[in-house]
Structure formats: C-alpha cells, structure tokens
Amino acid sequence: MHTAILKHITDFYESAIFVYCAGLFLFYILLAVLSLIAIRRSLWKNKIRGQQMLVASPLTPGISVIAPAYNEGVTIISNVRSLLALNYPRFEVVIVNDGSKDDTLQKLIDEFELTEVNFAYRQQIPSQAVKRFFKSTNPAYSKLLVLDKVNGKSKADAVNAGINASSFNYFLNTDVDCILARDTLLKLIKPFMDDPQRVIATGAPLRAANSCDVEAGVITRVRVPRSLLPRFQEMEYIRSYLLGKMGWTFINAVPNVSGGLGLFDKDIVIKSGGYDPGSFGEDMDMVVRMCRYMCEQDLPYRIHYIPETLCWTEVPATYKIFFRQRVRWARGLAQIFGKHRKVLFNPKYKKLGLIIFPYNFFFELLAPLIEFAGIIYYIYIIVNHLINWDYAIILLVFIYTFSILITSLSMLWDQLIFRYYQSWKEVWQLCILALAEPFIYHPTVLFCAIRGYFNQLTGKKHTWGNMQRQGFNQSPNLQKTI
Amino acid sequence: MDTITSLREWLDDLIYYFAYFPLVIQIAIIVSVLAVTGTIVAYVYMILFRWQKQRQAKKERPLREQVNELLLEHIIYKSVGDPDAPVALPLEDFKALPLHKKWVADVLIDQLLEYRNNFTGDIPRLLRQLYLDLGLHHKSATVLRSGHRKAIINALVELSGMGVLLEKEHVLALTQSRDRYIRESACSYWVQCSPDAPFEFFSHVKEPLLAWEQFELFRIISLRKDIPMPSFAQWIDPQYHPSVISLCLKLAAYFQQPEAIPAMIKMLDTPDEQLRALTINNLGKLMALEVEPILVKMYPQQPDSCKLEILKALGRIGSGDFIDFLRQELEQTEDFLLMKHAAHSIVAHKALASGLIARLQQSLTGTRQQVLQHSLNPLIKY
C-alpha cells in the first residue's frame, strides 16, 4: 500500500518536473525567436536613422549622468574624464562621493579644480545628507557636479542623492568604474524620442571589461576575458541581454534595467519614490515600482532595450567576490517577491502582473529550489536503487543539449549584430564554454541562489564589502608612453 | 573502443525501443535531437556568416579605395583647391566601374552619401549631379512604387540623402501613408527636396509627428538655405494637428519670426497643457514684450508646468516691468522649482535687477536665500 502511494507521488513529481522543464524551454524558444525579431528591427531602424542628428539639434533633451563613487581613488580621474567625454550636446555629470574613506574626493578636487558652491538642493527622494557640493572653476569641466555625502551603505542611496541634485528630465544611472561607449547617451535617448507611447526607461547590454584594452577610459579592443570565471560571466551576460532582454523588449515586458547602465525618466522615478536603499536588488525593484506606478495611474508605457553593447564593467574575477554578488542578487529577487506580492497574477498590473511576475516567480525564483529538490531526489533514487538509468540519462541529455542550444543561439545573435571579437579564436573560446557551463558555472550560481534565499529567510545581515578592482589592460600605445 | 561500441549499442536500442518508451521520454529524445541539430546549424551559420562578411569586406575594400581616390581626385580636391573654377565631372572614369553589378553600385552610392553628409559648399551639388549622370537613381525610382515596405523606405532615405526629388505626386501621397516609417521618411524626403512647396503636407497631417520626426524635420528645415522660409505662424492655428503646431512654434522661435507672436498669443487659450507650456516657452524665446502682462495675468490659473514656463519667459524677455512679480514669487511660493526659476529670471534681468538682488540677499533666509545664491553663481548653469 505504502509503496503504491509512494510510486504515485514520485510519478506525479516526475511528470510535474517534466512539464515545468518543457514550459521553461518553450519560453526560452519563444524568447529566442522574439529577440531575433527585436534585434533585426533595431538594426534596421539604426540603418535608416542616424543618431548624429541629435548632436546638432537645439531640441535634444538634456541628460544627467549619475555615477556614485565609493573608495574609487585609484581610477576615479580617468573614469570621470571618460564620462565627460561622452558624445552628447547637453548633459551634466553628477559624481556622488558616497562618504569614501580614501582620497577619491581630494583627487577630484585637485584634478578638476573644484570649489565648494552654495547649491540649491531639494530632497525629493530619501537619501543620506549631502555635506557639500563642488563645481569646477575651469570652464572645460563646467558639466561636472560633485556631491559629497554621508555614506548610505548602498548604491541606491547615492543615486537618490544624485537624482535630487540633477537638473535634467532624464538621468543615466551608471557606475563610476563602468566604461561607456562614446555614443551611449545618443543611442539610449533615441527610444524616448521614437515611440508613440511614453518610454520610462531604456537599457543596453553590459559586458566584461576584464581583459579588454583600455586607453584613457575608452575601450580600444574588445577581448574575451582570459580567466575562466569572468569568461563564464561574459557568456551569461550575452545570453541574458541578447536573448532575454531583447525578447522581452519585443512584447514590452522588460523585467529589469541593469543598475550598471540605464536611462530613466526622472519624473516617473521620483513619483515612484526613488531607489530603495534597503533593497538588495534595487535596480529591479525600481523598475517594478515604476511599472506599478504607471499601471496604477492607468498610463501606457514602454521599457526598451537596445542590442548594442554600450557599457563594459569589471566583473568579479575571484570566487569570493562572485559568491557575494550572486548571493545578494538572489536575495534581492526573493525580497522583491516579498515586497510586491500583490502584483503576482493581478490583472490590474497588466503585463507586469500577468507575464513578468509569473515568469520570474516560476522560472527565476523557484528554479533554483526546484533544481535543488531534483538533485536531492536523484540522490535518493540512486541510493535506493529506484533509478532507471536509461531514462535518467535521456532526461539529463535532454536538459544538457537544450541549455547548449540556447547559449549557442545567443552567441549567434551576438555575431549577427557587431562581431565585437576580432578573431575566430575568441568566438570559439566562448562557444566552447557552453559545453562546460552546466558542470562548472551553473552549480555555482545555483549554490549562491540557495544561499541567498536562505539568508533572506533567516534575515542574515548582509555585508556589502568592496569590489577589489584589478584594473584594465592598457593598450600597447599607451603603455609605450608611460 | 569498447565505450564507442557500447554507446552505439545503446543508441541502437534507443531507436529500436523508441515506440515503447513513455511519452515523456519520447519527447525528451526528440527535443534532444532537435537541440543538437539546432546547435550544429547555429555554429555552421555562425561560421558561414563570419566568413561571408569577411569575404564581402575583402571584396569591397579595393573598390572603396578606388571610389575614394576618384572622388577625392576629381571632385573634392578640385572644389577645395579652387572653389570658383568649374569642375568637370569625370563620368568616363566612374563608368569604367562595373556599375551593372548591384554591390558595386551600392558601394558607390554609399560613398556618395557619406561624402555628401560630410561636405558643404558646392561638393554636395557635384556629387548629386554625378549620381544622376551615372543613372544611379533609376533603381530607387522604380522601387518607390514597388509596394515593398523596407525597399521603399531605403529608397526614400537614399534619394533624400542625395537631394534628388522624383515621383513628386507619389511621394506627396506617401506622406499620408498608414505605415509610420514610410510616412516619416516621405515627409523628411519631401521637406528636404521639394523646390517650391516643402511644407505643403503640414496642412494635411493627421497622425502625430513624433518627437524624433520633429527633430528630423527641424534639422532639415534649419539646414535648407535654398528657399525663403515661410511664416510658420500660418500653421500655429488650432485647426492643424497639435504636433504640427508644436513643430511650427519651435521653428518660428528658431527663425526669430516676430510675426508669429499674435498667432502664439491665441494659442495661450488652448486646453492642451503641454502645447500651452510650449507656446509660452517659445514666446519667451521670441522675447515678445507685449505678452508679459498677459502671462502675468494668466499665471494664477495655470498648472505648474505652465507657471514654470511663464517664469522662464519673463526672465528671457527681461523688460523689468514685472520684476516685482518675480520677487513676489521668489518670496512667497512654496514650490521649489517655481522658486528656483523665479530667482533665475530675476538674475537674468542683469543690471535692471542689481538693486533688487542686493536687497533680497539681505532679506531672504533659508532655502530662498540658498536658491538665490545658486542662481547668482556663474559656475552653476542650471
């Protein structure tokens, strides 16, 4: 009797897991198709519309570039120079020194000839107090505004201060250590101008800058990261942005605009309450709140992603930092579902409630738990000699081959766009990783997700820690001059 | 060897017993086969795509160099060297190129467009003439009536870039197309190339001109030096589409057409808040002195966006007649933005406000004092 019941339960569990996997794979295939259409459409639009027209137009809207800095003394000068060199007719760069303990602020003052000014500051969204404001006495740096504030223990707090001090209706949220393409602002503002509906945010793919050649804050040669861990992350970024975000863009259901690079409608961000300093996934939380606000006001809106990579960032190169980052991300996701639980399956929130949240709930939040339970189940049936090895192998091959297919398609989409890597060798170095990912990288990510959920459940205090920068490759030309 | 043999046997069994497997396993096998096939196809396509692009680049490189040399030697250097001397187009040299091949013609057109974009003076005219003399426009002219959406748009972009107007009636009809991109390209093309009535379609616009279209039209119009600008006031009228009015408001201010001021004043009654704010903004840019009392009178009934524009306009016009109104706003409003713009506008009055500023510096306290200091600091622009 007991055995029969147990058999029914295991049969049901196995069938349910299969249906879950099939559903997930169907979503992936759908996203792959939609992303290809969205990418082709975006490239075609770029071909018929050059953004250079915006450079000369007196009508081009202004943009505030907001970049928080915490203990960035080593690289701050070249990073700020890089931001000031962006190709856009009307912008300001707001650097928020978030209570750095090193010489970040002093270096800025010395290099950019800053002087303290009496600045009319209005706190529209919460942040720690701003102590001082600095402007440059050198007209060459007139676009630069530096805020010195009390450390808020989160990027969200610093960005909020930057938003409060910013002058324009649009702001770019980035990290001061990110390397941006020169035309970033031109490319990101385009969707705001070009859509009949109100666009509330745009984003673009990020990539690993770890092994790229950099000269004076500009990427001169894109390379595949040499170390294995950053290389896996590069592959994951390509898949996530080109196959995921571009697919969601097509149906206007983008779940998140990355904290590393996103252009936002300031008015909606402020009306939604700004970034939440208590959130571990402040970027997704912000986008969810913006979408909620638009739905609650019954205002149509769009969030766009464009396929060109506009931002290179140094991804974690050591397992310690990588674990910390991924545990935080997982915790952030769990936190968002706790905070916005009313949204799930709520028709009032339209696509957010009926597509974005259900997808993220079943296939992002629950996936690690289901996978973990699956591993335990596998071990149980192996130990108890209940396993049918033929079927088990077939099912594992099913999952393995599909995961390789999805990564291969994202690599193909990447090649269709710009072919960032100069040599075949680099492309193959990434492609070959798809074979190893399910054995090496994926279990690591799974472990971090489970750990993150556990920490969130137990309310364990999160230590932010400092991301140790390893610095970029200086291009050969520059090395000669040093 | 044993492993390979046993794997082969396992696969043979799989095929043999496939029909007897549970449905779940059958689906898993089929999906796995499709996934492997898909992966192989993706990699093969990737190889072929990269190889084809490399081959194309290799093939085009010498042609591009040759075309560059011809253009530089026969047109650019001669025009730059002696701008007044007539330049004879070297048609024979260009005809020696195998222009019957599509890719060769495409490369040449691409280069001509690039040079036209990057040069001013007589060079764009010569390049246009070369384009016409070589008959490169025939293909685009045919495509315009093809009914193929993307081809039509590409043709419109190409002809617009070359400044060649063909099929006038048809293009004018395309400005009313239901397809947004065709309509937009046709409008830009028409405004760019029409010799006598580039603004004709303004009167017939039914669908909104998006911000991007307005930018594009604004750019084209502001660069056209070959025709006298019409009075844009004629379209600043509620009978026209609000997006046309919006564009014409900006154009009237850009070309400093004071004759548009009466039409703009009439627009101050519009129920469309955004349009009203834009009207006020452009009245300020035209420094319409006569509008100051009207703006001050309507101020209390306006929403914040319009109030803001009124304060900015008073600063731009800067007659000094309403400086007391600005002072009152700076001293009394609780809205930070209004406070800031009132202060900015007082400072914009320069010498006329020097006495008032000195008094305000003494009397204001707290945020209002800070706002005034902010506005007075030449290092802070916004």
The minimum CA-CA distance between A137 and chain B, rounded to whole Å, is: 7
Q: Give yes or no for residue A479 having a pLDDT over 50.
A: no
pLDDT at A480 over 80: no
Tell me the two tokens of residue B60: 């085009």
Predicted pLDDT at B290:
95
Rounded to an integer, the average pLDDT of B221-247 is 93
State yes or no: pLDDT of B130 exceeds 60. yes
Can you give the residue range of the structural domain that contains A42? 1-49+178-482
Q: What rounded mean pLDDT belongs to chain B?
A: 92
Q: Which residue of A has its CA nearest to B343?
A: A120
* pLDDT at B74 > cutoff 70: yes
**Structure-model confidence comparison of residues B374 and A479, the more confident one:** B374
Percent of chain B at pLDDT > 90 equals 76
Which residue in A214, A102, A125 sits closest to A475, CA to CA?
Answer: A214
Interval A82-114: pLDDT, tens: 999 999 999 999 999 999 999 999 999 999 999
> Is the pLDDT reported for residue A474 higher than 80?
no
Nearest to A324 by CA among A430, A437, A434, A468: A468
What is the pLDDT averaged over residues B157-168? 90
Position A371 in a domain: yes
**A428 found inside a domain:** yes
Please tell me which of the candidates A48, A117, A402 has its beta carbon nearest to residue B157: A48
Arithmetic mean of pLDDT, B266-288 = 97
pLDDT at residue number A478: 40
User: Domain segments of chain B: what residues?
Assistant: 318-382
Q: Does residue A431 have a pLDDT over 80?
A: yes
Set of chain A residues whose Cβ sits within 8 Å of the Cβ of B27: 18, 22
Please report whether residue A99 resides in a domain.
no
A150 belongs to a structural domain: no
pLDDT tens figures, A206-264? 999 988 998 877 888 999 999 999 999 999 999 999 999 999 999 999 999 999 999 99
Asked whether the beta carbons of residue A398 and residue B154 sit closer than 8 angstroms, the reply is: no
| A360 Cβ neighbours under 8 A, 6+ residues apart | A255, A333, A337
pLDDT score at A223? 92
Q: What is the mean pLDDT of chain A?
A: 92
Domain presence at residue A67:
no
Query: Is there a domain that residue A106 lies in?
Result: no
Separation of alpha carbons B85 and B78, rounded Å: 8
Chain A residue numbers touching B29 (CB-CB < 8 A) = 394, 398
- H or E element, residue B368: helix B366-376
Q: What is the pLDDT of residues B293-323, one digit of tens each?
A: 999 999 999 999 999 999 999 999 999 999 9
Kindly state the tokens that stand for A37: 């259409």
Q: Indicate the range of A13-27, B32-46, B84-98 predicted with least confidence.
A: B84-98
* A274-325 tens-digit pLDDT: 999 999 999 999 999 999 999 999 999 999 999 999 999 989 999 999 999 9
**pLDDT, greater one: B8 or A353:** A353
A188, A307 Cβ separation under 8 angstroms: no
- Of B35, B157, B370, which is closest to A401 when you measure between CB atoms? B35
DSSP code string of B317-354: H--STTHHHHHHHHHH---HHHHHHHHHHHHHTGGGGH
Place of tokens 């408001």: B249
CB contact under 8 A, A404 and B39: yes
Residue A226 counted as domain residue = yes
As a whole number, mean pLDDT of residues B180-209 equals 90
Residue at A88 is within a domain: no
Number of C-alpha atoms within 13 angstroms, CB side, residue A14?
19
Nearest to residue A108, comparing CAs of A132, A84, A73?
A73
pTM of the model as a whole:
0.91
Count of structural domains within chain A: 1
| B256 has a chain A CB within 8 A of its CB | no
> Which is more confidently placed, B381 or A157?
A157
pLDDT for residue A379: 93
The whole-angstrom distance between A284's CA and the closest CA on chain B is 28
